[in-house]
Amino acid sequence: MNGYCYFILGILVLAAGYFTYGRVLERIFRPDASRQTPAVACTDGVDYVVMPRWRVFLIQLLNIAGLGPIFGAVMGVLYGPAALLWIVFGCILGGMAHDYFSGMISLRHKGENLPEILGRYLGSQAQWVSRAVCIVFSVLVGVVFAVGPAAILSPMTGWSVSAWIWIIFGYYFLATILPIQAIMGKVYPLFSVALIIMVMGILGVMLLAPFADSMPAWMHLPRMEVLPDLDFFHNRHPADFPLFPVMFITIACGAVSGFHATQSPLMARCLKTEREGLPVFGGAMITEGIIAFIWAAAALTFYGSPEALGGATANGKAPALAIQTISESWMGSVGSILVMIGVVILPISTGDGALRVTRLMIADSFKLSQEQLSRRLMIAIPLFAAAIAVSSMDYAVIWQYFGWANQLLAAATLWAVSIYLRSKKRCYWPAAAPAAFLSLVVFQYLFSSPEMCGFSEEASLIASTLLTAVIGVLCLFRGSGLEKAEEPSL
């Protein structure tokens, strides 16, 4: 089977995963169409607002699909075509289960934020730790996804990076304090157009590449072999970074990401019925996986090998340069501009959601109603003062810990889901299995990384396996000891 067939097969498997495994997850959770959702029972016109399913889907997709499914995918394929397998099967077996279950549990508990969910099922200490982690985590996401787009927009427009940072933060502030339908509900459909153009443009070039000779000359299709290098089972990273566990941390948003669980409560407060959960939470995750798969395949196709791609991203060169080179070569100057606009819009649309959910986490911590604008401003003003202060810092060292912290958050969320399902006497393995795998990935990274423990590979694997096993036993024992998970009527 040649690379072109593998490319098409990967996309088809991702789509099929939604319609098959997604239905399995739905049958396990058992959504109830007659049960009132928080948007219906707790309508406040600000955060609890019923919106059409298509609009909620677009907001969820743009909230979770920052630079991760593009930059992470491009950097992930430095390890070789094995990254394509992780995107496909990680997205279906890990990411969709993570996003669907965490979103639906939030839906069942009045749109609770992730720290409250973790506290409910992992204990009060987990709640306070996760609350601090999630707030810091979300602020960092908001800041990075303002600075990153500003750095891209500056040379395109001639305006300074600092000017663009202020403009982006101004938009973030409005999106954080105004009713969700006022900004996100109206702007995101427009943002989605750029996203669709970006993805469909790259996808179209790759699908038509084998037929370039028979296409009209004005289309300027490149003559190339799609995925010419398919050595799935060898680590190809130019710097010889270990494939396990680093690749599974590098590619997060395109496969499974703890950040998504912090965003899902925003949309859990906007669904009309529980039946909309799978297309919104699961569908957005699969769509993000398709985006990551397309960009990973595009990078391997354009550069021909992980080693050549490594040369384009070495010595501090940002993945954005490789992405711009690909888009200019395949789609011309106009197409390249459209692609880069999409690359800018994705992180901005994630950053505003991150800061909005931070406001809600803080409000939940102090049990502050958010119906009044004054209450929202009371939280938002100091929040944005802190975010702006962080944006002026050199957080390169801090950000290197973002990857494993993100996957640790995903593992914690999946363990909480496992406890929830076990307490309700339902099949919990679709959550427990990826929770164990991600725990093993994170612990192996922490134990083996020279910056952390610096253990040998063998010692790290033994310690990681034992610690994962202990956590798994404790979580499942807790699930069996809990009474049937209480779900308040709305």
pLDDT tens string 319-347 = 777 887 888 788 777 766 767 777 787 78
Instruction: Give the angle subtended at the CA of 267 by the CAs of 264 and 271, to the nearest 5°.
Output: 130
Regarding predicted confidence, which is higher, 436 or 223? 436
In degrees to the nearest 10, what's the CA dihedral of 35, 39, 40, 41? Answer: 80
Structure confidence at residue 220 (pLDDT)? 65
Span 458-470, pLDDT tens digits: 899 999 999 999 9
Given a cut of 60, is residue 485 above it in pLDDT?
A: no
Distances in Å between the alpha carbon of 63 and those of 91, 142, 201, 345?
Answer: 17, 11, 22, 11
Confidence of residue 139 (pLDDT cuts 50, 70, 90): confident
Cβ 84 vs Cβ 240: under 8 Å: no
Cβ 21 vs Cβ 93: under 8 Å: yes
Span 46-101, pLDDT tens digits: 999 999 999 999 889 988 887 778 888 988 999 999 999 999 999 999 999 999 99
The model carries a pTM of 0.91
- Using DSSP's 3-state secondary structure scheme, residue 430 falls into helix
Span 199-238, pLDDT tens digits: 888 898 888 887 776 766 656 677 788 898 888 888 888 8
- Cα–Cα distance, 255 to 179 (Å, whole number): 31
Cβ 53 vs Cβ 272: under 8 Å: yes
**435: how many CB neighbours lie within 10 A of its CB?**
29
Given a cut of 90, is residue 439 above it in pLDDT?
A: yes
For residue 68, give every residue at least 6 positions away whose Cβ sits within 8 Å of its Cβ, in sequence order, or none. Answer: 252, 253, 254, 257, 259, 292
Which residue ranges form the domains of the chain, and what is each CATH number?
A: 3-408 (1.20.1740.10)
Instruction: Give the angle subtended at the CA of 37 by the CAs of 34 and 43, to the nearest 5°.
Output: 135
Confidence of residue 248 (pLDDT cuts 50, 70, 90): very high
For residue 362, give every residue at least 6 positions away whose Cβ sits within 8 Å of its Cβ, in sequence order, or none. Answer: 135, 368, 379, 383
Cβ 87 vs Cβ 248: under 8 Å: no
Least confident of 90-94, 285-289, 316-320, 419-423: 316-320
Regarding predicted confidence, which is higher, 12 or 341? 12
Tell how far CA 158 is from the center of its chain. 31
In degrees to the nearest 10, what's the CA dihedral of 31, 35, 38, 43? Answer: 140
What percent of the chain is predicted at pLDDT more than 70? 92
> Whats the size of the chain, residue-wise?
490
Please give the radius of gyration of the chain, using alpha carbons only, rounded to the nearest integer: 22
Average pLDDT for 391-397: 60
- Cα–Cα distance, 475 to 418 (Å, whole number): 8
Confidence of residue 488 (pLDDT cuts 50, 70, 90): low
Which helix (H) or strand (E) segment holds residue 343: the answer is helix 319-365
Q: Where are the alpha helices (DSSP H) in 65-123?
A: 73-76, 82-89, 96-108, 114-122
Judge residue 79's burial from the number of C-beta atoms within 10 Å of its C-beta, 0-12 exposed, 13-18 middle, 19 or more buried: buried
Cβ 121 vs Cβ 372: under 8 Å: no
Please give the span between the terminal C-alpha atoms of the chain, in angstroms, as a whole number. Answer: 53
Average pLDDT for 359-366: 89
Tokens linked to 357: 């959910």
DSSP 272: S
Structure confidence at residue 428 (pLDDT)? 94
Regarding predicted confidence, which is higher, 370 or 451? 370
Whose structure tokens read 């501090």?
A: 316
Q: Which of 402, 404, 358 lies closest to 380, judged by CA?
A: 358
